C-alpha cells in the first residue's frame, strides 16, 4: 500500500482483504478480539453520546422536555416547602 494514502493519524493502514486476513490470524491465535465485529458501547461512550444528543436538540425538543421538568420541579419544591414549614412550626 502506498504511504501517501494513509492519513497521518494512523500508524498503519490496511485494505479490507488485509484486515480480514489479520482478523483470521487473531481468531486462530485464540484471541477473542475481532476487527470486523462492532463492539458494544461502554458506559463512558454512551454518556458522551447522550450528552452530545442533548446539546444539539432543537428548540421545540428543548421546550418539550423543559415543560414536564418544570412541572416536576414545582411539585418537588412545593413538597420541600411544606416539610420545611412543618419543621418550623413544630420546632
pLDDT digits (tens, 9 = 90+) for 74-86: 999 999 999 999 9
Decide: 33 and 26 in contact? Cβ < 8 Å: yes
Instruction: Report the predicted TM-score, pTM, of the whole model to 2 decimal places.
Output: 0.40
Indicate the Cα dihedral angle 24, 26, 31, 32, nearest 10°. -50
Write down the domain spans for the chain: 43-90
Distance from the first to the final alpha carbon of the chain: 81
The alpha carbons of the chain give a radius of gyration, in whole angstroms, of 27
Q: Report yes or no: 21 and 29 within 8 Å, Cβ to Cβ.
A: no
The string of pLDDT tens digits covering residues 26-65 is 888 877 765 656 667 788 888 998 898 888 888 898 889 8
Amino acid at each position: 500500500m502506498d504511504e501517501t494514502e494513509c492519513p497521518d493519524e494512523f500508524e498503519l493502514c490496511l485494505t479490507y482483504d488485509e484486515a480480514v486476513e489479520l482478523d483470521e490470524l487473531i481468531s486462530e491465535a485464540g484471541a477473542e478480539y475481532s476487527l470486523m465485529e462492532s463492539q458494544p458501547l461502554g458506559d463512558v461512550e454512551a454518556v458522551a453520546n447522550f450528552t452530545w444528543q442533548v446539546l444539539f436538540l432543537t428548540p421545540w425538543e428543548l421546550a418539550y422536555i423543559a415543560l414536564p421538568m418544570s412541572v416536576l420541579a414545582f411539585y418537588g419544591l412545593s413538597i420541600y416547602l411544606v416539610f420545611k414549614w412543618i419543621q418550623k412550626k413544630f420546632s
